[in-house]
Structure 1
């Protein structure tokens, strides 16, 4: 260390300051130190668009830590080969690409309408548990169709296992230590796999593979044949939780903004009037017509990206911006500051959905947008998440006006430990006339 071209370090910074208010520290580092700065020796923060995108796209120089939340279970056959992992990725993307999601819009929409219909009027309601349940139903049904009722309970337990693993702890244990949280994760992963295995057997033996994501993974490839059963079973626990865990954090921020910006909510409600009375009749064309709603969702995700901080390692000595980083260093990629950079967005701290529209109607690219990541490790479920969030926003605003509960008690607390979330968010809904 100590090179002349080393990134600047935040004065009186370090992990102690960082741990007290990570968002404020991130913004201060970007303002005082620039696009790349040093938090601690060997720990750097990429705070602007160009270095953030460079780190995320240069996966060989800045690999993602190989520590999946649900690692493959130990089996006699050993780990999957790189070819099998690549085949599994290709197979699941057949069910997650934008065209596949658009074709299933009518299966997603009814559960977003049900969420809005079941919101009690004139009561202070804790939002996130209700949103999580609704999005879990949507996500699990998208993955497994008619088998969703069987798999929803173990999927909920997988989420609890994730929560236990990411809970703050005074100790950082080596990965091989079987802590109670890791043992709980393994039990729930085994339970989910045990529930899924007979579904895979039944579909393959009957030849009725289904048109959901699981069915896409069971389709034989002309180049690789059938995806091994263990590759299917190892892939799906993480994807299942991902369909509703991060979107729940995003939905909390979106619903809070509907409450705080009633004029924007009214515009969403008016636009949602174009949706069919029967939610099952909703198509990709209807979804495409929700231009302002999509702009509002994008604007909230710009201001409050649920995955506001992404961690990458430095594989070998390399350049980032004008700096040289040592192998073994850590880079924290910060979409939160990159998407509030005045070089990317005018009035970057202002909530203004119209910035995503041209001439008030046509979607616009805007500035850098990293809320779903980018590059080789970008979010595979971006299309599904945007569809879920857009329809949930439209259906909620169509039926209700939201407000924060009156009184001195804050409506929520902001947490940044695993993602950016509105913990304990409480809102009140009043039926639209």
Structure 2
């Protein structure tokens, strides 16, 4: 126990040790210090399901920092005005109408067609670095889901936004104030302007023609009885971030899923058998077909449990508050760790074992509080969860239906783990052979 009302601290815990091996230190802190522990003064880690759930749901006590990767290009010179905050809230609500599970279900055929094409185009009989191919396939799905027939013109700009994101999150020796125009930030702004410039005529053409479209952009263009029409700039400001999000996080998850198909051939065969019932024409796939893939969905959930792509989420406490009977000082940072929370034996028996079957019973339902945090929860939970799960489930099913996967032979690992901005299988190489 820590002294007084302060969370315990790992004796060797420090940012230097954390930087050397984040996952190992996270596991050690949870095992040796408990549900909440202290990495350094003013930096706490919520390591178990209960505290993680509490932090993510108590948004007033632990708000998410308002530092979007793609901040609005139009600036008011300070904090957002009440009008700007209202516009952003309305833009978010309009966007969410197109990302709810019901809206995703209506467009499952589009997702299935593109995941089938990814599987069909996988070169067989040789080792392939697969994540760039996965990312491109999922970007096609995500951008098409947002912009329909206008997606081909916007896809290259989405790829550049992703590159800007990757450049921006690279570790740096110096932490510059947000107002400093570093080269990475200037590159980000150039790509954001290019994307906005490509999207602006699409918005104007749709509005002038009255053919708004049934995609996410179309829903944002529709007037609201309360708010009327969203201003053009409010629409343009809100879309770069969600465009990248539709494929960036799912791509990390897909790497782990494909690796598990290679390492667990019996599980892959069960997925393949289930996927055999999918329509021969992927475009004919419906939400009913998706519901007929329970084992595939369980496998996806199990991989996400073990390797949550967003394995660490940062929140800040603006004032002194309580968490799991500990006092959290004002100004402190709380790191929410789904990676350790989802490997807690109190929540998941045999927590380190890959066992998709655990999700097929009511006891293993992902809806159990704190049991599944791979997409976050609470006010800032991932708004694209339904789309991501559909993409990952169908990508898994279509791939296993066509191929057996294996890792390259030899002593060298087929990937290396990266943890800086998410949990990923960087450089992953796999070989596909046809199931015939």
TM-score relative to the length of structure 1: 0.97
Q: Secondary structure at the match of 2:388?
A: helix
Q: Pick one of 307, 319, 337 that aligns with 1:334.
A: 337
Structure 1 residue 364: deviation in Å?
Answer: 6.7
| Alignment partner of 1:41 is 2:41 | yes
Structure 1 match to 2:19: 19
Measured against aligned partners, the alpha-carbon deviations of 1:90-146 in whole angstroms (never above 9, x if no partner) come to: 100010000000001011111100000000111100010000000000000000000
Structure 1 residue 200: deviation in Å?
Answer: 0.2
Measured against aligned partners, the alpha-carbon deviations of 1:142-180 in whole angstroms (never above 9, x if no partner) come to: 000000001001110000000000011111111011000
Change beyond 3 A, Cα 1:364–1:68: closer
Change beyond 3 A, Cα 1:175–1:117: same
User: 2:205 & 2:141 partners in 1: Cα distance?
Assistant: 23
Structure 2 match to 1:121: 124
Structure 1 match to 2:293: 290
Measured against aligned partners, the alpha-carbon deviations of 1:243-285 in whole angstroms (never above 9, x if no partner) come to: 0000000000000000000000000000001100000000011
User: 2:318 & 2:360 partners in 1: Cα distance?
Assistant: 40
| Alignment partner of 1:32 is 2:23 | no
Q: Pick one of 196, 200, 203 that aligns with 2:199.
A: 196
Q: Would the aligned equivalents of 1:48 and 1:341 in 2 still touch at CA under 8 Å?
A: yes
Structure 1 residue 12: deviation in Å?
Answer: 1.6
Q: Secondary structure at the match of 1:373?
A: coil
Structure 2 match to 1:50: 50
Structure 1 residue 315: deviation in Å?
Answer: 1.4
Which 4+ runs in 1 deviate beyond 2 A? Answer: 74-80, 362-367
Q: How many residues align?
A: 431
Change beyond 3 A, Cα 1:363–1:394: farther
Q: Secondary structure at the match of 1:10?
A: coil
| Alignment partner of 1:158 is 2:140 | no
Counterpart mapping for 1:112-151 below 5 A: 112-151=115-154
User: 2:74 & 2:378 partners in 1: Cα distance?
Assistant: 30
| Alignment partner of 1:85 is 2:88 | yes
Structure 1 residue 359: deviation in Å?
Answer: 8.9
Change beyond 3 A, Cα 1:46–1:350: same
User: 1:194 & 1:76 partners in 2: Cα distance?
Assistant: 20
Q: Pick one of 227, 233, 245 that aligns with 2:236.
A: 233
Q: Would the aligned equivalents of 2:366 and 2:372 in 1 still touch at CA under 8 Å?
A: no
Structure 1 residue 74: deviation in Å?
Answer: 2.7
User: 1:425 & 1:222 partners in 2: Cα distance?
Assistant: 49
Residue segments in structure 1 that go unaligned for 5+ positions in a row: none
User: 2:294 & 2:281 partners in 1: Cα distance?
Assistant: 20
Q: Would the aligned equivalents of 1:356 and 1:365 in 2 still touch at CA under 8 Å?
A: no
Structure 1 residue 75: deviation in Å?
Answer: 5.3
Counterpart mapping for 1:69-84 below 5 A: 69-74=69-74, 81-84=84-87
User: 1:191 & 1:279 partners in 2: Cα distance?
Assistant: 34
| Alignment partner of 1:260 is 2:258 | no
Q: Would the aligned equivalents of 1:358 and 1:364 in 2 still touch at CA under 8 Å?
A: no
Q: Secondary structure at the match of 1:244?
A: helix
Structure 2 match to 1:403: 406
User: 2:234 & 2:213 partners in 1: Cα distance?
Assistant: 18
User: 1:365 & 1:86 partners in 2: Cα distance?
Assistant: 26
Q: Secondary structure at the match of 1:235?
A: helix
Structure 1 match to 2:303: 300
Change beyond 3 A, Cα 1:76–1:308: closer
Q: Secondary structure at the match of 1:81?
A: helix
Q: Pick one of 244, 248, 253 that aligns with 1:250.
A: 253
